[in-house]
Chain A
Amino acid sequence: MRILCLRLRLRHDGEPPGRERTASLHHAAARATVPDGALRARLADDVEEFSPLIGWVGAGESASLCLDVGPTAHGFGGEAALVERLRAWTEQRRLLATVALADTLGAAWAVAHCGESEEPATWRCRVIPPGRQAAALATLPVAALRLSFGTTALLQELGFSHIGPLLPLPREALAERFPPELLLRIDQALGKVPELFAAHRPLPVWEAKLAWEGSIASAESLVAAWQHLLPQLLEPLRQRGRGVARLLAEQTGESHTLRRFVVGLLRPTLDADHLLGLLQLRLETERLREPIVGTRLAVLEESPLAVQQQVLFADLAPPVESQAWATLVERLSGRLGHEAVVRVRPRADHQPERAWQGVPWLQPRETNGATNGPVKASPLRKRSASRQGAPAADAVPSHALPRPTLLLPRPQPIRVFAVAPQGHPHRFESGGREQQVVESWGPERLETGWWRGPSLRRDYFRALLDDGRRCWLFRELRSGRWFLHGWFD
């Protein structure tokens, strides 16, 4: 084996490190080390031309890209030529690289990380000829062995600053005093014991994508592409008896921005036409803002077709348990956006206007993941996240309080006559019509909301009117004015 270890850093100059890389690379430009996640995966994808076996080794600051170039070197015309090509590859991507090539991963890593001075250079490379790793290691500090912090510290405490003095010591003397990792790492670096590393592989996702030669600007072409992609996408699900619960559509624009949106379903489906319809509805509101060069459909969430209702929305129990109902909610949500199609849930609050809230019918099971609109980093603030959590969920038994079934959107000012001071209403005028109060109950005093603004202070009365209807009135305590706030029916 010939292992090449690439220690990559991003440039500090604010220029994007990739020639034609996309927005997310742009964001990362400020950092010195290559951040975890997408960028690493992309670089690993990208470097595939040099080797069939590629992987990131180590975590955080010391993470490095390792390639087995044993099988490929001669295809490039030898190691020297391969290294030259790699140099061009890094420069194109505006990456700083420290590179070492050796027989073992351990030796290559050690040389790449602890080899020379720390001064940043655009390119530094050392090739350790086959079989010479012991000599190369001897002068390196013990930290180059990738040992746990404790072992490294202990070695240093005993005065072993470099690897060299360790190598001639009797193995038993070391085995007796140090954790097994010490001998293992030495043996691996010397090539006495093989070392494996985890290969980079793309994540298995159900997805289907398509790229055009040029670019397209019409919605029809995009829909046609989806029509073509959907059966491919659904087939593997069909075989496993599962349906789509959330579907992502992602379009790459000419300027390499990604626009993505997600459609959710009340009931999982395998119906390509239905899905296409939902996608189309969204497209009508989203529109294409620029010509696009490619599209990708991906299944974000799938679930079994048979037990869909219970699994997904057991607590919701839609009023009409029918496909039609589900379709309506889905289409409305698709068309208007998820936030616009809501159900009413009680909320624990003394103020009647605030004692309910609208909860979207279609809520993704996790709120992270894909968002609508252009992809941008928007770290949810912890505070607001928790605000949505607890109180909304615990529904309050509203039966305990006599509350009207119809609450007026806004309390309606009324004139009340014949009232004992601070007492019950006897007669009032609303909308030009006079109403006689036959009997009334109350007052129920509500004083709340001081933390939101001026405190709300009301005395509520339930009133039976001469026409047999019952209404909900209150007197605003501060001003003494009366309002009609709802009807019991």
Chain B
Amino acid sequence: MLRYAELHCLSNFTFLRAASHPDELVARAVELGYSALAVTDRHSLAGVVEAHAAAKEADLKLLIGAEVHPSDAPSTVLLATDRAAYGRLARLLTLGKSRAPKGECHLTFADLATYGEGLLACVFADPAASTPPTVSQLSAYRELFGDRAYLLAEAHCGPDDRAWFAELQTLSRRAKLPLAAAGGVYYHTPQRRPLQDVLTAIRLGRPVAECGKELFANAERHLHAIDELELLYESLPGAIARSAEVADRCRFCLDELRYEYPEELAPVGVTPAEYLRKLAWDGAAERYPQGVPVKVRDLVTRELGLIEELHYEAYFLTVWDLVRFARSQDILCQGRGSAANSAVCYCLGVTAVDPDRTDVLFERFISKERDEAPDIDIDFEHERREEVLQYVYDKYGRERAAMTGVTIRYRTRSASREVGKALGLLEEQIDALAKTFVDHHRNPETKWQECCQDGGLDLDNRQTAQFILLASELVGFPRHLSQHVGGMVVSRGPLCEMVPIENAAMPGRTVIEWNKDDLDVLGLLKVDCLALGMLTAIRKCFTLIEGAGGPKLTLADVPAEDPAVYEMVSRADTMGVFQIESRAQMSMLPRLRPAKFYDLVIEVAIVRPGPIQGNMVHPYLRRRAGEEPVEYPTEEVCQVLYKTLGVPIFQEQAMKLAIVAAGFSPGEADQLRRAMAAWRRKGGIDAFRDKLLDGMRANGISDEFAERLYQQICGFGEYGFPESHAASFALLVYVSAWLKCHYPAAFCAALINSQPMGFYAPGQLVRDAREHGVAIRAIDVSHSDWDLTLEPGDEIHGETPAVRLGLRLLQGMPEAAARRIVEARRAGPFLSTTDLARRADLGQPLLLLLARADALRLASENRRAALWSALAERRDRNRPLFAELGVGDDEPAVAASLPPTLTPLEEVLADYRSAGFSLRAHPVSFLREQLRRRQSLSAGELAEHKHGELVRTAGLVLLRQRPSTAKGITFVTLEDETGVINLVLHAAVWQRYREVARAAKVWLVDGRLERQGPIVHVVAARLVDLTSNLRDIAQRSRDFQ
């Protein structure tokens, strides 16, 4: 049989055009016995790494290239022959992308001339296109590329392929471009043709039926069997053989890309290893002024040895450099990840988790067997992370630094929507369908059918069958490239010679075409610089404490293992505390009763979708409470699980179990982890299941335990939380809890000053602070800054400072205007509204906003009077002189004739409108009398009722939450003047009362009380909208005056 190499083949990384995953193309090429396959996406190298990984495994020669469409020359495939040529190709694409809007690439023939060295140019043309290339155009390629230029003979059963080949032959002869056979492939098998039509339809934004000749005329753009090709190219002898010759000229393999660390990490004359050693020991001395403990000394020595052996010094230095910069700018940061919680990182200041203090042995520091890059994520204050990113760009230059890409893929919902449109389903039908599709991943087949039935499609219908088939095929297809939230790649040489770079949607950012999996495959290093709101809050809290005369704190200075903190946490008094403030976490805390740091690590990891879906939470709780014996099937399993009482809670444990219990090699365990992560998109987990179960059976583990373990591992695949991350988070949990416990005023102010972040709105945080004895003072232009501030406490509250609310709480208040007010106030208090308007340069809209918020208390304590006077401040700044003399003569008379002031309820409602909460009273308290008549209980009263009782209660809706793990249950939090009420709404109840459930602000609820220890829920059975009752009261009280 002839040797054939496919030279022109697009993967689905040519978005909305080609219809096969790279690995599918590779697998099919292997099956057909091709000698090589080129993946040549349109202006992109985004798909080559996936193809490379598959080709490497299948031992297929992969050619790296791209389809390029110069504006002034025929289109061509460019193939890289060696590393240098590959670098030029990446550069060329980077250039084209930098000129064009996102997703496009503008190139000219002159650009090919600049970067064409070492690249093979395979010019192609489509017989269906109106004008074939001319001889002179082709000659230009010949002149530029010399013997590296070819003409591809592609035909797809057009009207007259023989004539087309004859034409190509003439062109080839006259332009002196050798002819090579190629497929112009868009999918690996003809069965993908309908999907390819659908992609075309999506791209054009109209139904397939209206796409007409934009669709391909037949299904010939697949990978053909070689004997078919022989028949097809009968009239072009040598064309097939030449394809293999062309492939033979390409000797480049992606494995040649080696990461080269930046040079400037260590001072001149010092090797990175020496420098890292010095930094680590210096740091150790600083961390342990009393002398480095033996345990830590040993750890550091061992880790440094491993780092040197694997040549990861530069990576640690890169991380250290970022942390050092952040620290120099007073930006709080903390590292996490397997390598971050090492003794070396503690000494370098990357993490504050003290290896001596915590009795934890962190496995997986760097895995030697797997040759896997160390993994360090660094969290920075969310408001200041950009400074760190820009530092990286400044230090290494735009040529050498860029963000990691992210491949956005079709998910169930988006796929069903787009396919629905392409098949011409009606808008309402598509909406109905999209609603029934929760993004699910188990049992895709049956789920699709169920959802379609729920969405009103007839399953026996041909169109429905097509819909299901096409939409489920589309799931997992890449859709566009975006930027990773924080992954940065830096290199020694120009990065754009490694991978094409494009401009990100966000100005000032550049993104590479590869995602983190791609980087993993190639062993390229990235550092994740993530934004974390809690770090901002903690830093602001530290600053506030110091400003109020308290100590100067850092993450590492916060006193460890304070019993008062654990006592508070065990009471679930954790509103605002990092990670453990959610309702799910809060209900866990009294059961778990954390008493030491490692308990917090577990707490952080256990309330996650992975452990919840894997059904690990309850066994752990039972064992912790001593209600269930802790047993281990084997000693090895015990080694892995003893820290967590025999229940796997961390991702590391799941992988480790696969090794010790099921006999996986570390490499296989890692494959398993990857398969889990990619499972939603590709499936193919069953092979592992059998291997796992068989392996465990062989080790004498019961089927039941094995099956459970398998389920747990499945849960981890997507939502697993590694211990190494949990430990870093747990430190922030501890620090924030400590701050809340000892500095509640500063903590409250800092949290609100860092918003948006966290789980709770300012109103709830303020209320929580008040309940902890903090005095809160209202927003007032005469006292408030933009941020919340601390003021000296009053007699009642003693030494605890009071919190003065800030202007940032006002809806629609611009920060700049607030800053002007504060600035103007330095010169002396404001005398009148006019004085304020002039000195702070405020227009009428802002004055009205302040008056409505009751923050304008200059003329009178009366909100309406303030509004009345603010209304008179028209924008005519020409008469400030008169205005300053005092208001018009008639003003006092008018003010006297104004309608009466607001009722207490109106005041409260007005507060809610401007700030979202009120310091005066809770709106529900105005309904209390009415509620009492209706036998409705307050939150406080509910606590005294028994499990299983039927109760009625009411409150203001704070939060509606429907976690994906909760099977359609909605969790709703209500609030009244005595506290919060936790509701559970089953799907049917939500459905029946959906109008109320979605829109109403105040609910009356009938339901059954459920109690687990101190935690009380109400399982709702009936909802009534009380919003209008509140409005009626406001109305009536006014009418009665």
Contact = CB atoms under 8 A, between A and B. Distances in A.
Interface of A: 154, 157-161, 165, 168-170, 172-173, 176-178, 347-350, 383, 387, 390-391, 396-397, 400-402, 441-448, 450-453, 459-460, 462
27 contacts: A157-B867, A158-B864, A158-B867, A161-B899, A165-B897, A169-B894, A170-B890, A170-B893, A172-B888, A172-B890, A173-B891, A176-B872, A176-B874, A177-B868, A177-B872, A347-B212, A349-B212, A400-B128, A402-B159, A441-B160, A445-B217, A447-B217, A448-B218, A450-B193, A450-B466, A451-B463, A451-B466
A173 to B, nearest CB: 5
Interface in B181-219: 193-194, 197, 206, 208-210, 212-215, 217-219
A447 B215 CA distance: 11
Given A169-B894, A444-B159, A451 B209 contact: yes
Contacts of B268: none
Contacts of A159: 864, 898-902, 1038
Given A158-B864, A442-B160, A447 B218 contact: yes
Contact of A348 (B212, B898, B1038): B212
Max chain B CB contacts within 10 Å: which of A170, A349, A451?
A451
Interface in B887-934: 888, 890-891, 893-894, 897-902
Contacts of B218: 445-448
A169 B894 CA distance: 7
A390 B900 CA distance: 63
B999 interface: no
Nearest to B214: A348
Contacts of A349: 212-213
B897 A451 contact: no
Contacts of A160: 899
Contacts of A444: 157-160, 217
Contacts of B210: 387, 390-391
B163 interface: yes
Nearest to B868: A158
B894 A443 contact: no
B462 interface: yes
B890 A350 contact: no
Interface of B: 128, 130, 156-160, 162-163, 193-194, 197, 206, 208-210, 212-215, 217-220, 423-424, 426-427, 462-463, 466, 852, 864, 867-868, 871-872, 874, 888, 890-891, 893-894, 897-902, 1038-1039
Contact of B217 (A168, A170, A387, A448): A448
B608 to A, nearest CB: 43
B217 A158 contact: no
Contacts of A453: 462
A473 to B, nearest CB: 14
Contacts of B901: 159
Contacts of A390: 206, 210
Contacts of A178: 871
B159 A442 contact: yes
Contacts of B897: 165, 168-169
Contacts of B852: 157
B217 A391 contact: no
Max chain B CB contacts within 10 Å: which of A154, A160, A349?
A349
Contacts of A158: 864, 867-868, 898-899
Contacts of A402: 159-160
A355 B194 CA distance: 20
B875 to A, nearest CB: 12
B213 A348 contact: yes
Nearest to B462: A453
A139 to B, nearest CB: 13
Nearest to B220: A445
Q: Which 7 A-B pairs have the closest CB atoms?
A: A348-B212, A159-B899, A445-B157, A177-B871, A447-B218, A445-B218, A444-B159
B212 A391 contact: yes
A396 B212 contact: yes
B899 to A, nearest CB: 3
A173 B874 contact: no
Contacts of A447: 193, 217-219
A246 to B, nearest CB: 29
Contacts of A400: 128, 130
B894 A173 contact: yes
B874 A451 contact: no
Contacts of B206: 390
A348 B211 CA distance: 8
B157 A443 contact: yes
Contacts of A459: 157
Nearest to A389: B210
B892 to A, nearest CB: 11
A350 B163 contact: no
A450 B206 CA distance: 16
A450 B159 contact: no
Contact of B894 (A161, A170, A401): A170
Contact of B213 (A172, A173, A350, A450): A350
Contacts of B898: 158-159
A158 B851 CA distance: 11
A381 B566 CA distance: 65
Contacts of B463: 451
Contacts of B130: 397, 400
A72 B130 CA distance: 77
A168 B890 CA distance: 12
Contacts of B864: 157-159
Nearest to A396: B213
A177 B219 CA distance: 72
Contacts of A462: 160
Nearest to A158: B864
A158 B897 CA distance: 12
A157 B208 CA distance: 55
Contacts of A348: 212-214
Contact of A350 (B193, B217, B891, B899): B217
B157 A441 contact: no
B128 to A, nearest CB: 7
Contact of A450 (B194, B868, B1038): B194
A459 B160 CA distance: 12
Contacts of A168: 897
Contacts of B220: 445
B212 to A, nearest CB: 3
Max chain A CB contacts within 10 Å: which of B130, B197, B212, B1039?
B212
Contacts of B193: 447, 450
Contacts of A165: 897, 899
B71 to A, nearest CB: 23
B621 to A, nearest CB: 53
A48 B899 CA distance: 45
Contacts of B466: 450-451
Given A159-B900, A450-B194, A441 B162 contact: yes
A441 B235 CA distance: 14
A290 to B, nearest CB: 38
A348 B214 CA distance: 8
A161 B1039 CA distance: 9
A399 to B, nearest CB: 10
Contacts of A350: 212-213, 215, 217
A446 B159 CA distance: 9
Given A350-B212, A383-B427, 16 more contacts: A158-B868, A161-B899, A161-B1039, A170-B894, A172-B888, A173-B872, A173-B888, A173-B894, A347-B212, A400-B130, A441-B159, A445-B157, A450-B197, A450-B466, A451-B197, A451-B466
A349 B211 CA distance: 8
A125 B388 CA distance: 74
B914 to A, nearest CB: 12
A339 B678 CA distance: 56
Nearest to A162: B899
Nearest to B893: A170
A441 B206 CA distance: 34
Contacts of A176: 871-872, 874
Contacts of B219: 447
